[in-house]
Amino acid sequence: MRRVNDLRARNHPAWWAFLMHRLSGLVLALFLPLHFWALGQALHGEAALDGFLKFADHSLVKFGEWGLVVLLALHLTGGLRLLLIEFGPWSGLRKNWIAGSVGLAAATGMAFALALIG
């Protein structure tokens, strides 16, 4: 028998950054086929695509889209941090990037929300 760690062992910024990166990647990957299928409606003409876009106008769907945009921004900036750690010169765990990526994702989310309203 081996003991397994719980959150007390994992509770530090780089671990939360890992979890954020993995979960955002998982959700984005599973969303992609849906996204592609929806755009593929254009093959059946403008009306078919508009039919889907009407469905996407529901506020709940809009909220989902907003979440996906935030996750995409998180996955992008989190990924840049990982590339810097793996390919750049070592300068610690670059925790400033973790804070920065959360901030940037929040800013992207707000820009998207403003664009939706405006």
Partner 1 sequence: MNGSVATQARLWLWQRVSAMVLGVCVLVHLAVIIHAVRGGLSAAEILARTQGSWAFGAFYTVFVLAAAVHAPIGLARIAEEWLGWRGLKVTVATHLFGLLLLVTGLRAVYGVVVP
Partner 2 sequence: MTSNLKVKVWRGREEGDFATYEVPRLESQTVLDVVTYIQRRVDPSLSYRYACRVGMCGSCAMTVNGVARWTCRTHVSKVAKDGRLEIAPLSNLPVVKDLVTDMSEFFDKWARALGRFKGGTSRKDDFARVKPESLERRAVDAGIECIGCGACYASCDVVSWRPEYLGPAALNRAWTLVNDVRDTQRQERLGAVAGDAGCHACHTLATCTERCPKQLAPTAGIAGLKRLLARTKLEAEA
Q: Write the binding mask 13 to 32 for partner 2: x where contact by CB under 8 A, - elsewhere.
A: -xx--x---x----------
C-alpha distance across the termini of the chain, in Å: 59
CA atoms within 13 A on the CB side of 30: 6
**Residue with Cβ nearer partner 1 (14 or 80):** 80
Interface with partner 1 includes 90 (CB under 8 A)?
no
Which residue is associated with the tokens 């010169």? 89
| CB atoms near residue 51 (< 10 Å) | 13
- Of positions 34, 46, 54, 90, contacts partner 2 by CB under 8 A: 90
Q: Copy the structure tokens of residue 6.
A: 């719980």
Strand partners, 93: 91
Helices 59-87 and 13-40 cross at an angle (nearest 10°) of 130
Closest distance between partner 1 and the C-beta of residue 39, in Å? 4
Q: What DSSP state is assigned to residue 12?
A: S
- Residue 64 interacting with partner 1 (CB under 8 A): no
Binding site for partner 2 (CB under 8 A): 1-10, 12, 14-15, 18, 22, 82, 85-87, 90, 92-93
Binding site for partner 1 (CB under 8 A): 22, 25-26, 28-29, 32-33, 35-43, 46-47, 49-50, 53, 56-57, 69, 72-73, 75-76, 79-80, 82-83, 86-87, 108, 111-112, 115-116, 118
